[in-house]
């Protein structure tokens, strides 16, 4: 089959779906990988033809370079345009992303797309991940919550507080608000989490992470005393059952999102008519 991949650069990774495209190309499919200027990596492996769509993905409708397309695989950032392309060509659409899929383990999972493929990006194409741990100081990674309470809680401690979500491999503890993208990243990295949710959806995600045994839910950070927050973070840093469980889940997640498994999922979805389009 001829598969058209659409992918935009993502924080920390140039192409979230490039490894999946290359796996499908290695299996004999014809794969065209379309991304935006100036980021396209022209060193894709054999079986994958890269093309640029500039700043407007809809230009792909006007090009004669593609030929007949049998299915479109998009990342969430291009899903809306990909839906239009798939409808115009009357072909199936799949969305491949970094958020976790549904699982018997009950972790928070992607619900926006019925035809969804979980794919972990590789280390190629890293664009925003230049920070590295300095010395032996512990690292608290923060993504989401206001950082004011952190200045008071950790300003004069050995902790390095890093505000980002792309440095997770270097973190000892992850403080986040419970957004799906954030908790998916935390589970992929195997890092214990402190969760400070503010919406009903974030609360549900945070409670699931806590039930898995890899996180602690706190109230609004403004109402959490500095000493209490430090105690929670220090506990997660050293608590052996939490760290063992986090690494066990990381192994499960890594296996689920590996290129071979993700490619199997694409094959399964395309072989199951009628294929549901993105919601």
- Is 128 inside any structural domain? no
Rounded to 5 degrees, φ, ψ at 65 are: -70, -25
Instruction: Give the pLDDT score at 262.
Output: 97
Q: State which residues form the domain around 198.
A: 139-254
- Is 40 inside any structural domain? yes
- Is 226 inside any structural domain? yes
Q: How far apart, in Å, are the Cα atoms of 11 and each of 46, 80, 171?
A: 26, 19, 17
Task: Identify the CATH number of the domain in which residue 248 sits.
Answer: 3.40.50.2000
Give the tens place of pLDDT for each residue, 121-179: 877 665 555 567 778 899 999 988 888 888 889 988 999 998 877 778 889 999 999 99
Instruction: Give the pLDDT score at 42.
Output: 58
Between these two residues, 8 and 216, which has the higher pLDDT value? 216
Report d(CA 131, CA 200) in Å as an integer: 33
Report d(CA 230, CA 52) in Å as an integer: 48
Coil/strand/helix, residue 158: coil
Coil/strand/helix, residue 2: strand
Instruction: Give the pLDDT score at 10.
Output: 74
- Report the predicted TM-score, pTM, of the whole model to 2 decimal places: 0.90
Average pLDDT over residues 92-102: 96
Share of the chain above pLDDT 70, in %: 89
Q: Chain-wide mean pLDDT for the chain?
A: 88
Number of domains making up the chain: 2
**pLDDT band per the 50, 70, 90 thresholds, residue 39:** low
Does the pLDDT of residue 3 top 90, yes or no? yes
Q: For residue 250, with 0-12 CB atoms within 10 Å meaning exposed, 13-18 middle and 19 or more buried, which class applies?
A: middle
- Is 95 inside any structural domain? yes
Does the pLDDT of residue 55 top 60, yes or no? yes
Question: What is the greatest pairwise CA distance in the chain?
Answer: 63
Beta sheet of 48-52, edge-to-edge order: 48-52, 30-35, 2-6, 71-74, 93-97, 116-118
């Amino acid at each position: 089959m001829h598969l058209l991949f659409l992918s935009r650069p993502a924080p920390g990774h140039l192409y979230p779906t490039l490894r999946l495209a290359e796996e499908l190309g290695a299996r004999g499919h014809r794969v065209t990988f379309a991304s935006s200027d100036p980021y396209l990596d022209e060193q894709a492996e054999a079986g994958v033809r890269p093309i640029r769509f500039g700043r407007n993905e809809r230009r792909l409708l006007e090009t004669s370079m593609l030929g007949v397309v049998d299915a479109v695989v998009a990342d969430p950032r291009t899903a809306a345009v990909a839906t239009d392309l798939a409808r115009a060509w009357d072909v199936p659409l799949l969305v491949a992303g970094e958020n976790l899929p549904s699982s018997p383990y009950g972790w928070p999972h992607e619900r926006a797309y019925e035809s969804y493929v979980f794919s972990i990006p590789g280390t190629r194409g890293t664009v925003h991940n230049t920070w590295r741990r300095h010395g032996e100081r512990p690292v608290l990674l923060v993504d989401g919550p206001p950082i004011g309470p952190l200045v008071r809680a950790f300003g004069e401690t050995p902790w390095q507080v890093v505000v980002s979500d792309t440095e997770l491999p270097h973190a000892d503890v992850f403080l986040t608000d419970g957004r799906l993208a954030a908790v998916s990243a935390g589970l992929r990295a195997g890092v214990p989490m402190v969760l400070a949710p503010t919406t009903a959806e974030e609360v549900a995600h945070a409670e699931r992470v806590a039930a898995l045994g890899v996180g602690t839910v706190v109230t609004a950070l403004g109402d959490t005393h500095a000493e209490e927050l430090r105690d929670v973070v220090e506990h997660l840093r050293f608590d052996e059952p939490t760290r063992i469980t986090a690494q066990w889940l990381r192994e499960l997640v890594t296996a689920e999102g590996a290129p071979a498994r993700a490619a199997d999922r694409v094959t399964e979805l395309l072989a199951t008519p009628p294929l549901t389009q993105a919601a």
